[in-house]
Amino acid sequence: MRLRPTIGQLRLQREAGSVSAKGAEDPLDLPAQVRLSVEPELLRAAVSIERAFDKDAVHFEISFPPQYPHRAPQVLQVSPAQQVASWRYEAQSVQLPRLHGSSWSSAMGIADIIRDLLEPFPGLSGRCDKVSSGFLPVPVPHPASEDVEMEMS
């Protein structure tokens, strides 16, 4: 008997499928320094970003809950052991703003997470707009601007 795929597996298949359907060798139009591997059936993806200043790569594993895209994934830095200064960490987990609280939206996906991961890397962050998975990019709401709007009303 075959089990039915979870909503998360179906969404990841759709994202990986829409990405592959473009027919390019690098379907997400990622910079040459970025490698992405998506495994929908295991609810995970691996991302490697080669750093220009030392040619070493930062490796991440993105773990998706079965309820993805309704629940945010978790991004773990696998290597190197040193943390990237631009991010906040909780153990090995990278605390990207879009992945927490009310910032996450089911309209977001892998391309949005990769955009956020590329921001601290010189020369790559300017190319973030080229990362596309067939879904429109979703901006991260800034909590400070929400507080200002509440005070004004």
> Does residue 55 lie within any of the structural domains?
yes
> Does residue 2 lie within any of the structural domains?
no
pLDDT at position 18 is 55
> Does residue 27 lie within any of the structural domains?
yes
> Does residue 116 lie within any of the structural domains?
yes
pLDDT at position 23 is 43
- List the single range of 30-34, 49-53, 93-97, 123-127 with lowest mean pLDDT: 123-127
pLDDT at position 76 is 94
Contact 73, 46 (CB under 8 A): no
Tell me the pLDDT band of 6, cut-offs 50, 70 and 90. Answer: confident
pLDDT digits (tens, 9 = 90+) for 37-81: 899 989 999 999 887 666 678 899 999 998 899 999 999 999 888
Number of domains forming the structure of the chain:
1
Task: Show contacts of 13-21: CB within 8 Å, 24+ apart.
Answer: 13/40, 15/109, 15/110, 15/111, 15/133, 15/134, 15/135, 16/40, 18/133, 18/134, 18/135, 19/110, 19/133, 19/134, 21/134
> Does residue 53 lie within any of the structural domains?
yes
pLDDT at position 46 is 94
| pTM for the whole structure | 0.72
Bigger pLDDT: 2 vs 135: 2
**Domain of 135: which CATH number?**
3.10.110.10
Residue 130 has pLDDT above 50, yes or no: no
Three-state secondary structure call for residue 88: coil
pLDDT at position 20 is 45
Domain that holds residue 27: 7-152
Residue 145 has pLDDT above 50, yes or no: no
> Does residue 141 lie within any of the structural domains?
yes
Share of the chain above pLDDT 90, in %: 18
